[in-house]
Amino acid sequence: MKEPSRVVITAMGCICSLGNTMAQCAETLFGDRILPAPPSLFRTEHLTPYPVFEVDFTPPQGDYYLRTAALALHSATEAVMSSGWALDDLKGLRVGVCIGTTVGSAMNSEEFYQQLLESGHPSMSAIDRFLRSNPAQVVARELGLSGPCQTIVNACSSGADAIGVGASWLRSGLCDVVLAGGADELSRVTYNGFISLMITADLPVMPFDANRKGLNLGEGAAMVMLESESLARRRGATLHGFLAGYGSACDAHHLTAPHPEGRGLKQALAVALQQASLNASQISFVNAHGTGTPDNDRVETRVLAEQLPDVPFFSTKGMTGHTLGAAGAIEAALTIACLNRGAIPASCGWSDPDPTFPCHPIAQPREISGEYALSQSLAFGGNNTVVIFRKGEA
């Protein structure tokens, strides 16, 4: 029986607080710390201006699309333009688009709801903008792509799940090429929602630190171009990495808290390692979810100490904030970049070990020599996703 061709990453695009391109993001990750600031994209009346990580980005389409869709299109365009494909060539192939989001799936126009309450007859412009801003449809429409098109809404694992689902399309023969990733914008509704949950920090986020006070929200997008290895090699594409494994599991423990023993995360990890035919000793580092919230960091260190002992780990959210539905995709792209760089950054924001934790993130950048690394995402609703990548041949 013929072995299925492996799934390779032939291009990446990324925009977040680290920069507006993949190259900028990968380089800034190893630079000086970026500090969050009070939001400027929307007003807030909180006495404590909980800081966020905004992106310096003005959508070229103005307000025609929601900001989430514009961020998705920006990173997707970067991926396509660096892939070696001409857009006209892609239009003749089955190119799928699979994008995860959370904020980008919600009608968050306060102006619309205010008009509805006051007059009963609000302007429908906000509804029109929302209906034309499905992130996956926007990318497919603007780039002229005609394969399967799916927007995934699975809380903070959405971006990583989109990559796993996109890979399954390739393996099943549905597509020739897939653009997969995640995108999310900052929103006043989401900002106030997380503050009301009392898991937002009024200081820069400190993932895994004993003094952590919660997360900082962020925004951004990242896309990877997935192809079969056989097609990529035939056309001489750059192989930035291989998607070796994907696992997803839901522990259904709580609306917003992970299972205290990390049951779902362990299952997702086991599935991903099995698909990749790897054991824990072959993983060179973990890009952890690392939100800086008490529950997430406690559960994540417990699972890491048990399932991946002595494997170095870090969180990139000290430099990007928590970008929700985009987080899994941005962290996947950064994981691949670190693998190919042969180095991992310090876990930004961490300095004081929590004495109740069984393990701790790395405090300084270090070189790595392994071939495989994983990125994990823990989400509201008990969702857990793990993606494993093999180093590329770039």
> What DSSP letter does each residue of 230-282 carry, written as one string?
HHHHHTT----EEEEEEEEEE----SSS--TT-HHHHHHHHHHHHHHT--GGG
d(CA 174, CA 166): 10
Position 116 pLDDT exceeds 70? yes
Average pLDDT over residues 160-169: 97
Instruction: Please report the pLDDT score of residue 1 as a whole number.
Output: 47
To the question of pTM greater than 0.75 for the whole model, the response is yes
pLDDT tier at 194, thresholds 50, 70, 90 = very high
Average pLDDT over residues 335-340: 98
Q: Where are the alpha helices (DSSP H) in the chain?
A: 22-28, 67-81, 87-90, 110-119, 125-131, 135-143, 158-171, 188-196, 229-234, 263-276, 294-307, 317-320, 327-341
Q: Which of 325, 330, 385 is nearest to 105 (CA)?
A: 325
At 231-279, the pLDDT tens digits run 999 999 999 999 999 999 998 888 888 889 999 999 999 999 999 999 9
Average pLDDT over residues 106-134: 92
CB distance 268 to 376 below 8 Å: yes
Copy the structure tokens of residue 221: 């997008």
d(CA 341, CA 373): 12
Instruction: Please report the pLDDT score of residue 232 as a whole number.
Output: 96
pLDDT tier at 179, thresholds 50, 70, 90 = very high
pLDDT tier at 346, thresholds 50, 70, 90 = very high
For 229, residues 6+ apart whose C-beta sits below 8 A from its C-beta are 5, 6, 7, 8, 239, 242
Hey, how many other C-beta atoms are within 10 angstroms of the C-beta on 24?
14
Mean confidence (pLDDT) of the chain: 95
pLDDT tier at 161, thresholds 50, 70, 90 = very high
d(CA 17, CA 299): 27
Instruction: Please report the pLDDT score of residue 256 as a whole number.
Output: 84
Position 31 pLDDT exceeds 80? yes
Copy the structure tokens of residue 8: 């390779």
d(CA 40, CA 274): 45
At 207-236, the pLDDT tens digits run 999 999 999 999 999 999 999 999 999 999
d(CA 392, CA 389): 9
Position 107 pLDDT exceeds 90? no
Average pLDDT over residues 295-321: 97
Share of the chain above pLDDT 70, in %: 99
Position 300 pLDDT exceeds 80? yes
Instruction: Please report the pLDDT score of residue 394 as a whole number.
Output: 67
Instruction: Please report the pLDDT score of residue 4 as a whole number.
Output: 62
Copy the structure tokens of residue 301: 């260190």
CB distance 183 to 71 below 8 Å: yes
Position 60 pLDDT exceeds 60? yes
Average pLDDT over residues 74-80: 98
Q: Is 253 exposed, middle or buried (0-12, 13-18, 19+ CB in 10 A)?
A: middle
